[in-house]
Structure 1
Amino acid sequence: MKARVSRSVLTLLLGTLLGASTFDAMADETAASTAPDAMFADTWHFTAGGGVLSLPKYPGASDRKFEPIPLLGATYGRYFIGTVPDVSAPLGLGAYLYRDSHWQVAAMLSYDFIQPRDQSDDARLQGLGDIPRTAHAGIFGSYTVGWFTARGSVFTDILGKHEGTVATLGLEGKYQPSDRLSLSAGPGLTWGSSQYNRTFYGVDQGQSISSGLPAYAPGSGVASFNVSVKADYRISRQWGVGAAVVATELRGDVGASPIVEKKTQVTYGVFSSYRF
């Protein structure tokens, strides 16, 4: 099975499946004091696990596929590497610039774990060419008070692969009916620069001739809105499992792209992780 998902979609899916819940217990161990320095104990923590997604073959596709996602990460004090649940990156390296009981802000570098698009993924992509892997640099942050969390991120292509800049914003409300079970839901959106939207949803003159699709050049703007529902269950101090459903609506110039067959996309996912 070939693994091909655009960065914004993978970010959304991992964010919904994991949120910050995978590392919540790590934070609990250092949150006895609300002082920022107390959140960065010089101790190693590791997370290993995996998930399976059922999702459209590409953003806008009408056909579906299954996608396995590995979850491997490590933290030491303010530094982290591997899967970064807070920003939903499968492969990243960075550091928290600030963190307390409500706020967290971090900067990081990430690399596409999987190729964003291969034209062999779907017949509608024939003639559009592949979109290669690239590296991204950016910043992310969140604010949590009680049951409410707001998250945001901005990342940009730093290897000149024409993948532009992507920004995300999400709101989440959490309800915990028991010590082990937590339920959460909320809306979100993804904004793409004109370069990002043209690479993933545009059709230039050469691609139009090769694919038979009309030429199309989307501008910058909100690419999608989404609503997610998630359940997490902590089996033990180390083990956790979860499931999520994400409904996404492609909007504006992105939704009007000739590549898009279906504007409303629904994704289902399950995961399990072990923390040590």
Structure 2
Amino acid sequence: MCTPLFRGYAGLLLASTVWAATGNSALAQDAPNLSDSWKFSAGLGLISQPKYPGSGDSKTSVLPILGANYGRYFIGGVPGAGVPAGIGAYLVQDAHWRLGVGLGGNLDKPRKESDSPRLAGLGDIDATALGTVFASYSDAWWKVGGNVLTDIGGKNQGTRVSVDFEARYSPMPKLMLTAGPGLTWADGKYTQTFFGVDAAQSARSGLARYTAKAGLNTVSFNLGANYQLTQQWGLGARFTASSLRGDAADSPVTEEKSQNSFGVFANYRF
């Protein structure tokens, strides 16, 4: 799980990465193929998401989806961690458990001063490198997962800890439907960077100083659908309804507590 800005795109990347590894998005959501051969996927995603965490406006983008797997190693979206693009490896993989690590980063600045008049004087938040450890346990119709995502690029974007639960239902062999809640805790460094206003920012922007502390940052509910159109082609959609909590919700930077995203993708495996 990630900030609302990345949640939809990360969900699309996760679906396409897993689909590339397994060749069956409906029946093998959690079991990457660990054979010693390269597997690739390429596609496009259309996503609508908030302009930045706390934004009241959305933006719609057409984005490429690329993924590659070799045994336990993968390139593309980091599964279960919300990193839009990166590399990683599964350390543990069996019928139920999955544990892995990854390195990735933002595709763009997560917030620009030009995104909203409310941000005037606050400055941009730069893109950074992110490290993650993720794990999940799945059974016949459900899955619980979590991750720790931290800024390793020195851009003051702190650490987030996320937990998600997902129920799954396959009404037909090629279709998988998913739904479930999630939450994210963020440390003080992350919350202050995205939702705080320091003395210099206050002087430039006219906003009151605001110290944002660690705590529950986001609660969400996710809906997804994946359909294996052919052996090579996969289709998918994901909707995430998120709501900011705690100091993030009360911040003068926040225009809207509700942070929803929606995306669809088409992907080709080869």
Calculate the TM-score normalised by the size of structure 2. 0.90
Matched, 1:88 2:91: no
How many residue pairs match? The answer is 263
Q: Distance in 2 between matches of 1:14 and 1:154?
A: 18
Q: How does 1:44-193 map to 2 (within 5 A)?
A: 44-193=38-187
1:8 is aligned to 2:3: yes
Instruction: Supply the AA of the counterpart residue of 1:223.
Output: N
1:39 deviates by 5.2
Give, in angstroms, the shift of residue 21 of structure 1: 6.2
Higher RCO structure (Cα 8 Å, ≥6 apart): 2
Shift of 1:240: 1.0
* 1:227 matched to 2:227: no
Q: Is 1:268 matched up with 2:262?
A: yes
1:33 aligned partner: none
**TM-score, length-scaled by structure 1:** 0.89
After superposition, what is the alpha-carbon deviation per residue over 1:29-69, rounded to whole angstroms, capped at 9, x for unaligned? 9xxxxxx9x95221111111121111222222222211233
Structure 2 distance, partners of 1:216, 1:98, is: 42
Structure 1 residue 28 displacement after superposition: 7.0
SS at match of 1:195: helix
Aligned partners of 1:22, 1:163: CA distance in 2, in Å? 26
Does the 8 Å CA contact 2:51/2:59 hold for their aligned counterparts?
yes
Alpha-carbon offset, residue 124 of structure 1 = 1.1
Conserved? CA contact 1:53–1:67, under 8 Å: yes
Tell me if the contact between 1:82 and 1:93 (Cα under 8 Å) persists in the aligned partners: yes
C-alpha RMSD of the superposition: 2.0
Equivalent pair of 2:20/2:69 in contact (CA under 8 Å):
no
Cα offset, 1:147, TM superposition = 0.9
SS at match of 1:120: helix
Aligned to 2:27: none
Cα pair 2:111 2:124 within 8 Å, conserved: yes
1:11–1:87 contact (8 Å) kept in structure 2: no
- The SS at the match of 2:213 is coil
> How far does residue 265 in structure 1 lie from its aligned partner after superposition?
2.1
Change (3 A) 1:27 1:72: same
Identity within the alignment, %: 45
Q: Letter of the 1:220 partner, please give it.
A: A
Decide which moves more: 194-203 or 117-126. 117-126
1:23 to 15, 18, 21: 18
Deviation of the 1:71 alpha carbon: 1.2
- CA deviation after TM superposition for structure 1 residue 19, in Å: 4.4
Could you tell me how far apart the structure 2 residues matched to 1:107 and 1:22 are?
15
3-state DSSP class of the match of 2:253? coil
What 5-or-longer segments of structure 2 have no aligned partner? Answer: 25-30
Any unmatched runs of 5+ in structure 1?
1-6, 30-35
